[in-house]
Amino acid sequence: MVTKKKMPARRQQILEFIQGFISDNGIPPTVRDIQKACEISSTSVVDYNLHKLRQAGYLNRRPDVARGIELLDNEGQPVSSAPRVHIVGAIAAGLPLPVFTTEDVQSSEEFDEVEVSPDLQRRYGKLFGLAVRGTSMIDALIDDGDVVIIKPGHEAANGEMVVAWLKQEEEATLKKFYLEGDRVRLQPANGQMAPIYSPAENVEVRGKVVSVMRKFA
């Protein structure tokens, strides 16, 4: 976030609104968004204050684009507006791994982050990331080292890719989920690997894959 400098109260209000709007929505506001939220009499007043904020190095602006505001950091570089998701651990795409835990990581600063699209966050809400270990989902274009973006939850339809917790084994794995009577089939997407079969009461869905961030060599 841009460091505050002493400025007129109205200009400070506009800057803080822009920062909050981008944080909440992943996109910058329009001039009319600013006018309405800050209760400004006209768009020309908004334009004037945006011009002053640009002169002071807080933002760039393309007047010909409705959402052409871009916040700048203290070095004058663009501040990314993309939402960020914590990578809270690793997930096995192969043999199951001891489970990650999310309960204790909410306030941690030790985890890497990845940027996701604003649309993804608006659609699914709270998300977390897991680094993939193994190649059991390679035919689903998920490779070792990729990051899967997970929507937390405990329900899944057959064929959905899930984080499955095997209670008795105390391990987690990334597989496609199939409920078959009183058992669950956790199906890899790799013809050289066999599925995992487990009693339904032994399998708990911890979340579903909603996106994949590719590893680039």
Q: Annotated catalytic sites, by residue?
A: 136, 175
Could you give the CA distance from residue 202 to residue 186 in angstroms, rounded to a whole number?
A: 12
Q: Which of 62, 96, 53 is nearest to 202 (CA)?
A: 96
CA dihedral for 17, 35, 71, 29, sign (positive or negative): positive
Could you give the CA distance from residue 184 to residue 202 in angstroms, rounded to a whole number?
A: 9
Structure tokens at 164: 């499955």
Q: Is 110 in a helix, a strand, or coil? A: coil
Q: Is 118 in a helix, a strand, or coil? A: helix
Contact in structure between 66 and 43 (CB atoms under 8 Å) = no
Structure tokens at 98: 């001891």
**Looking at this protein, which amino acid is placed at residue 133?**
R
Q: Provide the pairing of β-strand 113-115 with 203-213.
A: unpaired
